[in-house]
Structure 1
Amino acid sequence: MTPDITTAQIRKIWITAREKGISSELLHSMIFEITKKESVKELNIKEAGKVIERICGKRRARKRCEPSGYIAKMSHDQLKQISNMIVTIERLGKTYTIEAIADKVAQKKPDQLTRVDAVKVATACKEIINRLKKQNQSTHPL
Protein backbone atom coordinates (compact mmCIF):
# COMPACT_ATOMS: atom_id res chain seq x y z
CA MET A 1 0.00 0.00 0.00
CA THR A 2 1.34 3.43 -0.88
CA PRO A 3 1.77 6.08 1.82
CA ASP A 4 -0.75 8.85 2.41
CA ILE A 5 -0.45 12.23 0.74
CA THR A 6 2.04 14.68 2.26
CA THR A 7 1.16 18.21 3.34
CA ALA A 8 3.58 19.51 0.71
CA GLN A 9 1.61 17.70 -2.00
CA ILE A 10 -1.68 19.06 -0.66
CA ARG A 11 -0.24 22.58 -0.82
CA LYS A 12 1.13 21.93 -4.31
CA ILE A 13 -2.29 20.78 -5.54
CA TRP A 14 -4.12 23.82 -4.14
CA ILE A 15 -1.47 26.36 -5.20
CA THR A 16 -1.22 24.97 -8.72
CA ALA A 17 -5.00 24.88 -9.07
CA ARG A 18 -5.23 28.49 -7.90
CA GLU A 19 -2.51 29.56 -10.37
CA LYS A 20 -4.33 27.83 -13.24
CA GLY A 21 -7.65 29.43 -12.23
CA ILE A 22 -9.28 26.13 -11.29
CA SER A 23 -12.13 26.49 -8.80
CA SER A 24 -12.48 24.25 -5.75
CA GLU A 25 -15.50 22.54 -7.27
CA LEU A 26 -13.69 21.83 -10.55
CA LEU A 27 -10.61 20.61 -8.67
CA HIS A 28 -12.70 18.15 -6.67
CA SER A 29 -14.41 16.89 -9.81
CA MET A 30 -10.98 16.41 -11.44
CA ILE A 31 -9.80 14.50 -8.37
CA PHE A 32 -12.88 12.28 -8.52
CA GLU A 33 -12.45 11.71 -12.26
CA ILE A 34 -8.80 10.67 -11.80
CA THR A 35 -8.95 8.72 -8.53
CA LYS A 36 -12.64 8.13 -7.71
CA LYS A 37 -12.03 9.79 -4.31
CA GLU A 38 -13.95 12.74 -2.91
CA SER A 39 -11.28 14.68 -1.03
CA VAL A 40 -7.67 15.75 -1.48
CA LYS A 41 -6.80 14.30 1.93
CA GLU A 42 -7.99 10.81 0.90
CA LEU A 43 -5.34 10.58 -1.84
CA ASN A 44 -2.12 8.63 -1.59
CA ILE A 45 1.24 9.87 -2.91
CA LYS A 46 0.86 8.22 -6.33
CA GLU A 47 -2.65 9.58 -6.88
CA ALA A 48 -1.56 13.05 -5.77
CA GLY A 49 1.17 12.93 -8.41
CA LYS A 50 -1.39 12.08 -11.09
CA VAL A 51 -3.63 14.97 -9.97
CA ILE A 52 -0.70 17.42 -9.99
CA GLU A 53 0.30 16.28 -13.49
CA ARG A 54 -3.25 16.76 -14.77
CA ILE A 55 -3.54 20.23 -13.21
CA CYS A 56 -0.18 21.27 -14.67
CA GLY A 57 -1.40 20.17 -18.09
CA LYS A 58 1.17 17.44 -18.66
CA ARG A 59 0.39 15.17 -21.59
CA ARG A 60 -0.94 11.75 -20.74
CA ALA A 61 -1.74 8.63 -22.66
CA ARG A 62 -5.33 8.22 -23.75
CA LYS A 63 -7.05 5.33 -21.99
CA ARG A 64 -9.01 2.78 -23.96
CA CYS A 65 -12.33 4.02 -22.60
CA GLU A 66 -11.71 7.61 -23.75
CA PRO A 67 -12.93 8.68 -27.17
CA SER A 68 -10.40 9.02 -29.94
CA GLY A 69 -9.86 12.20 -31.91
CA TYR A 70 -12.34 10.95 -34.50
CA ILE A 71 -15.13 11.04 -31.91
CA ALA A 72 -14.04 13.67 -29.39
CA LYS A 73 -15.32 17.19 -29.94
CA MET A 74 -13.05 20.03 -30.98
CA SER A 75 -11.17 21.48 -28.01
CA HIS A 76 -11.43 25.07 -26.85
CA ASP A 77 -7.77 25.64 -27.79
CA GLN A 78 -8.43 24.42 -31.32
CA LEU A 79 -11.41 26.76 -31.65
CA LYS A 80 -9.30 29.65 -30.38
CA GLN A 81 -6.51 28.83 -32.84
CA ILE A 82 -8.92 28.67 -35.77
CA SER A 83 -10.59 31.93 -34.72
CA ASN A 84 -7.20 33.65 -34.55
CA MET A 85 -6.34 32.40 -38.04
CA ILE A 86 -9.65 33.71 -39.39
CA VAL A 87 -8.84 37.12 -37.90
CA THR A 88 -5.45 36.96 -39.65
CA ILE A 89 -7.19 36.13 -42.93
CA GLU A 90 -9.46 39.15 -42.48
CA ARG A 91 -6.41 41.36 -41.87
CA LEU A 92 -4.99 40.10 -45.15
CA GLY A 93 -8.08 41.34 -46.98
CA LYS A 94 -10.45 38.37 -47.35
CA THR A 95 -13.60 37.54 -45.43
CA TYR A 96 -14.07 33.96 -44.31
CA THR A 97 -16.16 32.51 -41.51
CA ILE A 98 -15.54 29.40 -39.48
CA GLU A 99 -18.91 28.11 -40.68
CA ALA A 100 -17.92 28.43 -44.34
CA ILE A 101 -14.51 26.81 -43.89
CA ALA A 102 -15.90 23.99 -41.71
CA ASP A 103 -18.61 23.29 -44.27
CA LYS A 104 -16.13 23.30 -47.17
CA VAL A 105 -13.47 21.15 -45.47
CA ALA A 106 -15.44 18.80 -43.20
CA GLN A 107 -19.04 19.19 -44.42
CA LYS A 108 -20.09 19.92 -40.81
CA LYS A 109 -21.19 22.85 -38.68
CA PRO A 110 -18.53 24.23 -36.29
CA ASP A 111 -20.25 22.82 -33.19
CA GLN A 112 -20.17 19.33 -34.75
CA LEU A 113 -16.44 19.30 -35.54
CA THR A 114 -14.29 16.58 -34.03
CA ARG A 115 -10.65 17.08 -33.10
CA VAL A 116 -9.55 15.56 -36.41
CA ASP A 117 -11.94 17.80 -38.35
CA ALA A 118 -10.60 20.82 -36.46
CA VAL A 119 -7.07 19.95 -37.57
CA LYS A 120 -8.30 19.86 -41.18
CA VAL A 121 -9.97 23.27 -40.77
CA ALA A 122 -6.83 24.72 -39.18
CA THR A 123 -4.71 23.36 -42.04
CA ALA A 124 -7.08 24.92 -44.58
CA CYS A 125 -6.80 28.26 -42.75
CA LYS A 126 -2.99 28.05 -42.86
CA GLU A 127 -3.10 27.38 -46.59
CA ILE A 128 -5.40 30.36 -47.14
CA ILE A 129 -3.08 32.59 -45.09
CA ASN A 130 -0.01 31.44 -47.04
CA ARG A 131 -1.79 31.98 -50.37
CA LEU A 132 -2.92 35.48 -49.36
CA LYS A 133 0.57 36.40 -48.15
CA LYS A 134 2.03 35.34 -51.51
CA GLN A 135 -0.60 37.38 -53.35
CA ASN A 136 0.07 40.43 -51.20
CA GLN A 137 3.84 40.13 -51.74
CA SER A 138 3.44 40.07 -55.50
CA THR A 139 1.10 43.10 -55.52
CA HIS A 140 3.06 45.11 -52.94
CA PRO A 141 6.77 45.01 -53.78
CA LEU A 142 9.11 46.32 -51.12
Structure 2
Amino acid sequence: MATRITAPQLKKIWATARELGMDEDVLRARVAALTGSESISKLTSQQARNVIDNLAPKAQINRASREQLWKINQLAEQLGWKDNPKRLLGFVKKYARVDALGWLTRDQAWRVTEGLKKLISKQKVHKVVK
Protein backbone atom coordinates (compact mmCIF):
# COMPACT_ATOMS: atom_id res chain seq x y z
CA MET A 1 0.00 0.00 0.00
CA ALA A 2 1.28 3.47 -0.86
CA THR A 3 2.13 5.78 2.00
CA ARG A 4 0.29 9.06 2.40
CA ILE A 5 1.80 12.47 1.83
CA THR A 6 3.82 13.64 4.83
CA ALA A 7 3.32 16.96 6.59
CA PRO A 8 6.74 18.27 5.44
CA GLN A 9 5.89 17.34 1.84
CA LEU A 10 2.58 19.15 2.09
CA LYS A 11 4.32 22.25 3.50
CA LYS A 12 6.96 22.08 0.77
CA ILE A 13 4.32 21.97 -1.99
CA TRP A 14 2.47 24.99 -0.61
CA ALA A 15 5.68 26.93 0.13
CA THR A 16 7.06 26.29 -3.35
CA ALA A 17 3.78 27.32 -4.94
CA ARG A 18 3.81 30.53 -2.89
CA GLU A 19 7.40 31.24 -3.99
CA LEU A 20 6.35 30.81 -7.60
CA GLY A 21 3.36 33.12 -7.11
CA MET A 22 0.87 30.35 -7.86
CA ASP A 23 -2.60 30.76 -6.44
CA GLU A 24 -4.48 27.78 -5.06
CA ASP A 25 -6.47 27.11 -8.23
CA VAL A 26 -3.35 27.03 -10.41
CA LEU A 27 -1.56 24.75 -7.95
CA ARG A 28 -4.49 22.36 -7.77
CA ALA A 29 -4.73 22.28 -11.57
CA ARG A 30 -0.99 21.50 -11.80
CA VAL A 31 -1.32 18.74 -9.20
CA ALA A 32 -4.32 17.26 -11.00
CA ALA A 33 -2.45 17.31 -14.31
CA LEU A 34 0.58 15.59 -12.77
CA THR A 35 -1.17 13.05 -10.55
CA GLY A 36 -4.80 12.81 -11.57
CA SER A 37 -5.76 13.67 -7.98
CA GLU A 38 -7.98 16.63 -7.20
CA SER A 39 -6.86 16.72 -3.56
CA ILE A 40 -3.32 17.61 -2.51
CA SER A 41 -3.77 16.18 0.98
CA LYS A 42 -4.80 12.79 -0.47
CA LEU A 43 -1.65 12.37 -2.56
CA THR A 44 0.64 9.45 -1.95
CA SER A 45 4.16 10.15 -0.80
CA GLN A 46 5.49 9.28 -4.27
CA GLN A 47 2.98 11.57 -6.00
CA ALA A 48 4.00 14.37 -3.63
CA ARG A 49 7.67 13.81 -4.54
CA ASN A 50 6.76 14.06 -8.22
CA VAL A 51 4.88 17.33 -7.64
CA ILE A 52 7.76 18.77 -5.59
CA ASP A 53 10.29 17.73 -8.22
CA ASN A 54 8.14 19.31 -10.91
CA LEU A 55 7.79 22.60 -9.04
CA ALA A 56 11.26 22.80 -7.47
CA PRO A 57 13.40 23.50 -10.58
CA LYS A 58 11.29 26.53 -11.34
CA ALA A 59 11.57 27.73 -7.74
CA GLN A 60 15.37 27.25 -7.70
CA ILE A 61 15.81 30.04 -10.23
CA ASN A 62 14.97 32.68 -7.66
CA ARG A 63 16.65 31.11 -4.62
CA ALA A 64 18.89 33.16 -2.37
CA SER A 65 22.53 32.94 -3.37
CA ARG A 66 25.20 31.32 -1.21
CA GLU A 67 26.66 34.78 -0.68
CA GLN A 68 23.34 36.09 0.64
CA LEU A 69 22.97 33.15 3.01
CA TRP A 70 26.58 33.61 4.16
CA LYS A 71 25.92 37.31 4.85
CA ILE A 72 22.77 36.49 6.83
CA ASN A 73 24.72 34.04 8.98
CA GLN A 74 27.52 36.59 9.51
CA LEU A 75 25.05 39.25 10.61
CA ALA A 76 23.35 36.79 12.97
CA GLU A 77 26.75 36.02 14.45
CA GLN A 78 27.37 39.75 15.01
CA LEU A 79 24.09 39.88 16.90
CA GLY A 80 25.30 37.06 19.14
CA TRP A 81 22.88 34.51 17.73
CA LYS A 82 25.52 31.92 16.79
CA ASP A 83 24.81 29.78 19.83
CA ASN A 84 21.04 30.00 19.30
CA PRO A 85 20.16 29.20 15.66
CA LYS A 86 16.46 29.14 16.54
CA ARG A 87 16.64 32.88 17.03
CA LEU A 88 17.71 33.45 13.42
CA LEU A 89 15.12 30.99 12.14
CA GLY A 90 12.44 32.77 14.17
CA PHE A 91 13.50 36.08 12.65
CA VAL A 92 13.43 34.60 9.15
CA LYS A 93 10.05 32.99 9.74
CA LYS A 94 8.57 36.23 11.07
CA TYR A 95 9.89 38.52 8.34
CA ALA A 96 10.12 36.25 5.29
CA ARG A 97 7.45 33.68 6.21
CA VAL A 98 9.60 30.65 5.40
CA ASP A 99 10.70 27.87 7.73
CA ALA A 100 14.30 27.50 6.56
CA LEU A 101 17.09 29.69 5.24
CA GLY A 102 17.36 27.50 2.16
CA TRP A 103 13.82 28.42 1.12
CA LEU A 104 14.52 32.16 0.93
CA THR A 105 14.15 33.87 -2.41
CA ARG A 106 16.70 36.52 -3.40
CA ASP A 107 14.29 39.29 -2.46
CA GLN A 108 13.44 37.72 0.90
CA ALA A 109 17.14 37.23 1.65
CA TRP A 110 17.78 40.90 0.87
CA ARG A 111 14.97 41.95 3.23
CA VAL A 112 16.25 39.65 6.00
CA THR A 113 19.77 41.04 5.53
CA GLU A 114 18.53 44.62 5.76
CA GLY A 115 16.48 43.78 8.86
CA LEU A 116 19.49 42.22 10.55
CA LYS A 117 21.61 45.28 9.67
CA LYS A 118 19.01 47.52 11.32
CA LEU A 119 19.09 45.37 14.45
CA ILE A 120 22.88 45.64 14.56
CA SER A 121 22.77 49.42 14.19
CA LYS A 122 20.16 49.66 16.94
CA GLN A 123 22.36 47.50 19.16
CA LYS A 124 25.31 49.82 18.56
CA VAL A 125 23.27 52.94 19.29
CA HIS A 126 21.88 51.34 22.44
CA LYS A 127 25.39 50.48 23.65
CA VAL A 128 26.63 54.05 23.00
CA VAL A 129 23.71 55.54 24.95
CA LYS A 130 24.40 53.39 28.02
Q: Which range, TM-score by smaller chain?
A: 0.3 to 0.5
* Greater relative CO (CA pairs within 8 A, separation 6+): 2
Q: Which structure has the highest helix share of the two?
A: 2
Structure of larger gyration radius? 1
TM-score for both structures, normalised by structure 2: 0.43
